[in-house]
Structure 1
Amino acid sequence: MGRDFSKAYLVWVLFVFTLASTLSIIDRQIINVMIGPIKRDLGGISDTQVSLIMGFAFALFYTLMTFPAGRLSDRFHRIKIMSVGIAAWSFMTMLCGLASQYWQLFLARMGVGVGEATLGPASNSALADYFSPAQLPIAVGVVAAAPFIGQGLANIAGGPLIDYLEATPNYVLPVVGELFSWQMVLIIVGAPGLFVALLMWWLIEPERKNKVRSDDQSVPLSQVWAFINERRMFFFLVFLGYLCLATQGWSLFSWLVEFYVRNHGWTRTEIGLSYGTIAMVVGIAGSIAGGVIASVYIKRGKTDATLRVVWLSTLILFPMAAFLTLTEDAYLALWMLIPVTFCMSMPPGLIIATLQTIAPNELRGQMVAFYLIAVNFLSYSFAPSLPALLSDFVFGSELALGKSISTLAVINYSIAGVCLGLSLKYYRRAVDMTKAWRN
């Protein structure tokens, strides 16, 4: 399956990478199923305030550390970088569970972002050396299913766990003292990451392939920016399109549980189990399906396959996502989540495969970092706050979450569809430029 490793070992690599990515999403998203208890126990903070903990607090240092992590990943031992990062964010997640004031939780969430900044650049750079170009979309698709596995587990386990802990008195731990239910959840979900950090540490670093430099020095920043500038229309259109996709995705994921609790009267356990199952099963299927479809077209000579699949999935997704939170039938909305989740799960892995096909080895980590900075910072910083701001200041009601999410869907998917469609010719041009320097 791979160039230098057995098929069994590559399966193990994918398992560890996917497990690490899944834990990163759980640690990042578990707060979303505990909005009500957190607001209550931190003094009745507003939706907007809690959205800043969900998004901006995490994204600030996540973004600041992503490009340095990318530079390190393009020069040093990627496996060790990821292992240290996993241990760091897991510890900070547990530290979030010790926060008793708003500012303490805000600062601890910043620390989670610092640790998670190492994973994206290092893992995607390493995957491109473990797998061949034709196999890469499938491999990345498997790892890219992690957000949906993480979302699923966070909802399946988080909802029932918080409901169970809410029904019991506050907990008292030695040295730490009394803890609220949501604090216990954060400590519980953060602990397994320390074990995963050890699993990552024991993996073998793959040999770097497709290098354009014979030495081990980092590519000068001037050359990095020259590379980006030569392909500026491609990066602008693709990153703007993906920014809109990511913004809508995080807006929906951040508030879906609370939307069902407020607007449909469901318990966190009910929506957690329902959507958690959909996210895990359908999200995994969609992510892998996107990679398989793209790989088939690549083998047939379609150079824009990865990006074309993303564009088509966006066009299919648009009308369903816009209607999803407007229907008053909770079960119809739940059924609609199946195709919506399937289509939403395709783009994350395919953008990584897209970037890896146009970048030399020495720039792969930095290209992923550039993407994460340009897209993830803005989307993850502000996406959780956008529905809250619309509900608080435009519609003037906490029950207007559905209208807020639907309004954002129309705006985001309209822009994404146009940008991704226009980007296809620039992607083909970038691929041709890559073939030229490889030859």
Structure 2
Amino acid sequence: MNSQIALEKDDTPGTSSISSVYGNRGRTIMLLVFLTLLNILNFADRFLMQGFAVDMIHDLQLSNLEFTLLTGFVFTTFYTMMGLFMGALADRIHRPRLIAIGIFSWSALTAATGFANNFMQLSLLRMFTGVGEATLTPAALGLLGDRFKPHHRAFAAGFYYLGAPIGIGMAFIIAGTLGAAIGWRNCFFTLGAIGVVLTGFLLFLREPREEQQAKQAASKRPITAIYKEILQTLRASRALCLLILGGVLVIFAQGTFVLDQLWLVQERHMNQKSAQQLAGIMFISGGVLGSLLGGYLADLLQARRIGGRLWFLALIYLLGVPVGYIYRLLDTTGMAFYICMFIGSMMITIGYGPIFACLQDLVPAQLRSTMTAFMILCMTLFGTSLGNLTVGGLADVFRAASDSAPITKAVMVGMTPWLLAIPCFVLAARMMENKAELHD
């Protein structure tokens, strides 16, 4: 493996330390909280369209397939392809400034979404919104990887990914409350304006990496070498390859939930406003608990055995995924429906912290943002996008065949890969254990 990207051990798991972070604890916690707030905005902007699924499909005369294309491939193709280069840039330049440019861009385009009148206009806006949003997570997780020690990275990544449940939940609550008062177009205007204002605060965010160090790394590693670096890193670790494959399978299954608002209204006969608010509350409560619990428990297990975070992922999905199938067969009259919905919301976010912490541990320190971007590319392009497209296409096929519950059947078929992710995590954990034994 090229010596420039050889793995650098910045800490040894299990070593005791006074602080769980490098540098000033207060500044590190403030950085974590601020980046999490930006990620909340990121997910709220991204999922606002799903919150308004019923309204936008009706007003703009979209088919299920067209809507899932907008939330899937149209957005993620540009998001993931540009994200790879944004991740490489983040390993080479001032990361807070890069994030600032991205937030300003995606927020302005979110506001412009309020002017869209047809599928083609929405497609163009979603494409370029994806370019802006691609800057945040690779740079943010790289910053957190520099500030938190290895045995606390799952908690840091899990806390950062509180942005997913809170942001998604906010999107649905905004749709169910503010949307009813001012309409979906004005909601896009408002959320975009908030993002533009937040951009200014990034000018005060410090880059923990020394400027001279970043310049030296950039001069030795031109951005055109990105594909070579990724390939070398993947060849050096089969466990990393299995981690990425497992992540893709998990996110594919979660991508099939894109039509859940339509499912609640059309097949579970809920009031639209009630469905929006219920989804928002469940995403926030269950998702927040899942993120925090996942990060904490995965770090706890990692401290006790090699590959502990991977064993945690395998176990929690083995126990939790079957609940997702049961949930689809229940009606809304019993408490079991809401309990299963809550557990399902936890399952959506519980793996984010462990998955991205494992990635940070398995790749060289100077490639954290690049490999984070590559993993996001794989998870969104082959996971979310294909999951969205699969459920949209299957729902239309089942509806054309006069199936009484086309979305239910489509989602249950699309969730199958989630179970296939479990052996990927088990094999990756065993590889890490075997590698550790060889070095003893």
Fold in common (TM above 0.5) = yes
- Which of 241, 244, 266 is the aligned partner of 1:262? 266
Aligned to 1:120: 137
Give deviations 1:82-117, integer Å, cap 9, x for gaps.
111111111111111111121011100011100011
Give deviations 1:394-431, integer Å, cap 9, x for gaps.
3535842112112222x222211222222222344677
Counting aligned pairs with the same residue, the percent is: 24
Over 3 Å counting, the alpha-carbon distance change for 1:391 and 1:70 in structure 2 is: same
Aligned amino acid, residue 409 of structure 2: K
- Which of 89, 111, 119 is the aligned partner of 2:106? 89
Aligned to 1:38: 56
Return the alpha-carbon distance in structure 2 between the equivalents of residues 68 and 95 of structure 1. 25
Over 3 Å counting, the alpha-carbon distance change for 1:431 and 1:243 in structure 2 is: farther
Per the TM alignment, residue 188 of structure 1 is displaced from its structure 2 partner at its CA by 1.6
| TM-score, scaled relative to structure 1 | 0.88
Return the alpha-carbon distance in structure 2 between the equivalents of residues 275 and 183 of structure 1. 20
**Does residue 74 of structure 1 match 2:91?**
yes
Return the alpha-carbon distance in structure 1 between the equivalents of residues 369 and 154 of structure 2. 17
Range that drifts further, 132-141 or 376-385: 376-385
Q: Is the 8 A contact 2:154 2:299 kept in 1?
A: yes
Aligned to 1:414: 419
Per the TM alignment, residue 215 of structure 1 is displaced from its structure 2 partner at its CA by 4.8
| TM-score, scaled relative to structure 2 | 0.88
Over 3 Å counting, the alpha-carbon distance change for 1:215 and 1:123 in structure 2 is: closer
Over 3 Å counting, the alpha-carbon distance change for 1:18 and 1:63 in structure 2 is: same
- Which of 345, 361, 381 is the aligned partner of 1:357? 361
Q: Is the 8 A contact 2:234 2:241 kept in 1?
A: no
Query: Secondary structure, in 3 states, of the residue corresponding to 1:217?
Result: helix
Return the alpha-carbon distance in structure 2 between the equivalents of residues 105 and 280 of structure 1. 27
Per the TM alignment, residue 213 of structure 1 is displaced from its structure 2 partner at its CA by 11
Return the alpha-carbon distance in structure 2 between the equivalents of residues 351 and 277 of structure 1. 25
**Does residue 307 of structure 1 match 2:310?**
yes
Return the alpha-carbon distance in structure 1 between the equivalents of residues 113 and 42 of structure 2. 14
- Which of 401, 407, 431 is the aligned partner of 1:426? 431
Aligned to 1:292: 296
Query: Secondary structure, in 3 states, of the residue corresponding to 2:426?
Result: helix
Query: Secondary structure, in 3 states, of the residue corresponding to 1:75?
Result: coil
Range that drifts further, 138-147 or 389-398: 389-398
Per the TM alignment, residue 212 of structure 1 is displaced from its structure 2 partner at its CA by 12
Query: Secondary structure, in 3 states, of the residue corresponding to 2:346?
Result: helix
Return the alpha-carbon distance in structure 2 between the equivalents of residues 286 and 235 of structure 1. 23
Aligned to 2:3: none
Aligned to 2:34: 16
Return the alpha-carbon distance in structure 2 between the equivalents of residues 129 and 265 of structure 1. 48
What is the aligned-residue RMSD (CA, Å)? 2.5
Aligned residues: 414
Return the alpha-carbon distance in structure 2 between the equivalents of residues 34 and 223 of structure 1. 41
Aligned to 1:149: 166
Give deviations 1:216-250, integer Å, cap 9, x for gaps.
4354443442221122x323322222112111212
Return the alpha-carbon distance in structure 2 between the equivalents of residues 408 and 278 of structure 1. 21
Aligned amino acid, residue 241 of structure 1: G
Aligned to 2:204: 202
**Unpaired stretches in structure 2, ≥5 consecutive residues:** 1-18
Per the TM alignment, residue 128 of structure 1 is displaced from its structure 2 partner at its CA by 0.8
- Which of 305, 326, 330 is the aligned partner of 2:329? 326
Q: Is the 8 A contact 2:173 2:277 kept in 1?
A: yes
Aligned to 1:236: 241
Per the TM alignment, residue 308 of structure 1 is displaced from its structure 2 partner at its CA by 1.5
Aligned to 1:245: 250
Aligned to 2:320: 317
